[in-house]
């Protein structure tokens, strides 16, 4: 998994570089008006997150046999901490754009007034854990799916068993917490972005009590839902915690302030659906593990293997919901997207540059993903000693608490 992480890290850095310089090329008005806030946030990521990652990444990748086990473990922790710092500053920037706090407007420019509100506002402290948990769940599902794949192919049995058991165990523990933070995120949307919330619910009219639209085809032209399956009063219960509350529909907002409905509506439901799939797979998998039948149920191993992309789909769907639902604002309530674009930018410029990036990324990601597939297909390198879950933890539920990883990657018991 070290090589998989290294390749993924490299591909992620490539996308981050483009995200940074497009502020000047495509969004110069946004940079001019809000650069006093967004510029320092981008800088803090480099000074904290990237500094940690760049310092210790080489040790983690190449230093396993060159440094002591404790220092190697410390380096791995620093890389992990760096990636979490990176996500913190990125989410701080985006959360401020979603719900701008701690600012004032002077001479038409948005300048900081309270950095604590900007960096540690209540919205940020909900969205950041939500994103961290999404990343952990995505990784854990990949590990569990790879373990199921090895078990189905009857290769790397010991390593596959460890991956399967630990991956499903982590997902089972984290998914309820993620659902809780997802609900908190929905409440912040309801409070601060009611138009987005109405679009997610495809609620065209004000309702009391409000129904919950489980599935439908939103007809934006006629402001109605086709083929809708609804549950009476459930919308009020989800939004306000009681069965009779009045909920705001899109009719309460001017048309120029409404977001598109189709993408947030389906994006949210796809995200929730993937979360429920992860919940079902992980909890049922741990039930089978408790029964001692996890490796013998091939149909469930196939289900786990095919659940490999659920985390990625959930993350992408969630971001589409958040960003499309924010429209027509780039800084919510302060600066519209159409007013933030570089004035000299033409449609041809955007189309040409976007096509170029898509082409380059398609090549880079094709090679990268194929290499990752090859690494996972081939499994652990021959010099790595196989790890048995039984030898590591036996049948004792909390036995892993006393296990330690040696410098060669083998699990061993620590002497008291």
Q: What is the pLDDT of residues 298-334, one digit of tens each?
A: 999 999 999 999 999 999 999 999 999 999 999 999 9
pLDDT (mean) for 87-96: 93
- pLDDT band at 411; cut points 50, 70, 90: very low
Q: Cα separation of 50 and 85, whole Å? A: 9
Chain centroid, CA 329 distance in Å? 22
pLDDT score at 29? 93
pLDDT at 65 over 70: yes
pLDDT at 37 over 70: yes
**pLDDT, the chain, mean:** 87
Please report the beta strands in 220-287, taking only residues with DSSP state E, as ranges in sequence order: 224-231
Helix (H, G, I), strand (E, B) or coil at 405: strand
What element of type H or E holds 316? helix 310-326
- Predicted confidence (pLDDT) per residue in 134-145, tens digit: 999 999 999 999
Q: What percent of the chain has pLDDT over 90?
A: 58
- Predicted confidence (pLDDT) per residue in 228-282, tens digit: 999 999 999 988 888 988 899 999 999 999 999 999 999 999 999 999 999 999 9
pLDDT (mean) for 6-27: 80
Query: Tokens standing for 384?
Result: 């790595």
Phi, psi dihedrals of residue 109, rounded to the nearest 5°: -115, 145
Q: Cα separation of 30 and 173, whole Å? A: 41
- Predicted confidence (pLDDT) per residue in 370-407, tens digit: 988 888 888 887 655 544 555 444 444 434 334 434 43
Contact by Cβ (8 Å): 141, 311: yes
pLDDT score at 45? 83
Q: Which residues on adjacent β-strands are paired with residue 224?
A: 219
Q: Cα separation of 278 and 398, whole Å? A: 23
Q: Cα separation of 107 and 408, whole Å? A: 61
Burial class (CB in 10 A: 0-12, 13-18, 19+), 353: middle
Helix (H, G, I), strand (E, B) or coil at 407: coil
Query: Tokens standing for 383?
Result: 């010099």
Contact by Cβ (8 Å): 196, 326: yes
Contacts of 66 (CB under 8 A, 6+ apart): none
Q: Which residues on adjacent β-strands are paired with residue 411?
A: 405
pLDDT score at 383? 56
pLDDT score at 390? 53
**CA 25 vs CA 11, 39, 110: distances in Å:** 22, 15, 20
- Predicted confidence (pLDDT) per residue in 143-200, tens digit: 999 999 999 999 988 888 999 999 999 999 999 999 999 999 999 999 999 999 999 9
Contact by Cβ (8 Å): 38, 100: no
Which residue in 227, 199, 406 sits closest to 320, CA to CA?
Answer: 199
- pLDDT band at 9; cut points 50, 70, 90: confident
pLDDT score at 409? 42
Domain ranges for the chain: 134-193+261-398
């Amino acid at each position: 998994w070290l090589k998989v992480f290294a390749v993924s890290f490299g591909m992620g850095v490539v996308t981050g570089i483009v995200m940074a310089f497009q502020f000047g090329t495509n969004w110069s008005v946004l940079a001019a008006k809000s650069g006093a806030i967004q510029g320092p946030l981008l800088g803090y990521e480099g000074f904290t997150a990237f500094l940690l990652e760049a310092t210790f990444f080489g040790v983690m990748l190449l230093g396993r046999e060159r440094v002591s086990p404790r220092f190697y473990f410390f380096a791995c922790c620093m890389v992990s901490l760096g990636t979490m710092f990176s996500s913190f500053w990125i989410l701080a920037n985006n959360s401020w754009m979603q719900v701008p706090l701690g600012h004032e407007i002077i001479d038409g420019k948005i300048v900081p007034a309270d950095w604590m509100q900007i960096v540690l506002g209540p919205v940020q402290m909900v969205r950041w854990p939500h994103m961290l948990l999404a990343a952990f769940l995505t990784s854990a599902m990949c590990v569990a799916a790879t373990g199921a794949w090895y078990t189905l192919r009857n290769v790397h049995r010991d390593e596959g068993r460890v991956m399967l058991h630990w991956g499903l165990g982590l997902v089972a523990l984290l998914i309820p917490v993620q659902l809780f933070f997802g609900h908190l995120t929905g409440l912040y949307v309801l409070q601060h972005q009611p138009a987005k919330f109405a679009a997610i619910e495809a609620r065209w009219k004000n309702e009391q009590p409000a129904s919950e639209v489980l599935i439908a085809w939103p007809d934006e032209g006629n402001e109605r839902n086709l083929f809708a399956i609804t549950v009476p009063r459930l919308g009020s219960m989800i939004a306000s915690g009681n069965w009779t509350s009045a909920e705001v529909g899109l009719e309460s907002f001017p048309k120029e302030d409404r977001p598109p409905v189709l993408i947030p509506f389906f994006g949210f439901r796809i995200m929730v659906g993937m979360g429920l799939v992860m919940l079902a797979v992980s909890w049922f998998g741990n039930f089978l593990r408790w029964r001692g039948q996890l490796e013998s149920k091939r149909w469930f191993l196939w289900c786990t293997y095919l659940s490999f992309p659920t985390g990625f789909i959930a993350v992408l769907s969630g971001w589409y919901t958040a960003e499309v639902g924010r429209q027509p604002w780039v800084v919510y309530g302060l600066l519209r997207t159409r007013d933030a674009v570089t004035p000299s930018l033409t449609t041809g410029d955007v189309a040409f540059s976007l096509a170029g990036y898509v082409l380059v990324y398609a090549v880079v990601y094709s090679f990268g993903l194929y290499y990752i597939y090859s690494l996972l297909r081939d499994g652990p390198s021959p010099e790595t000693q196989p790890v048995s879950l039984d030898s590591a933890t036996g049948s004792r539920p909390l036995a892993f608490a006393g296990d330690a990883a040696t410098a060669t990657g083998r699990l061993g018991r620590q002497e008291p």
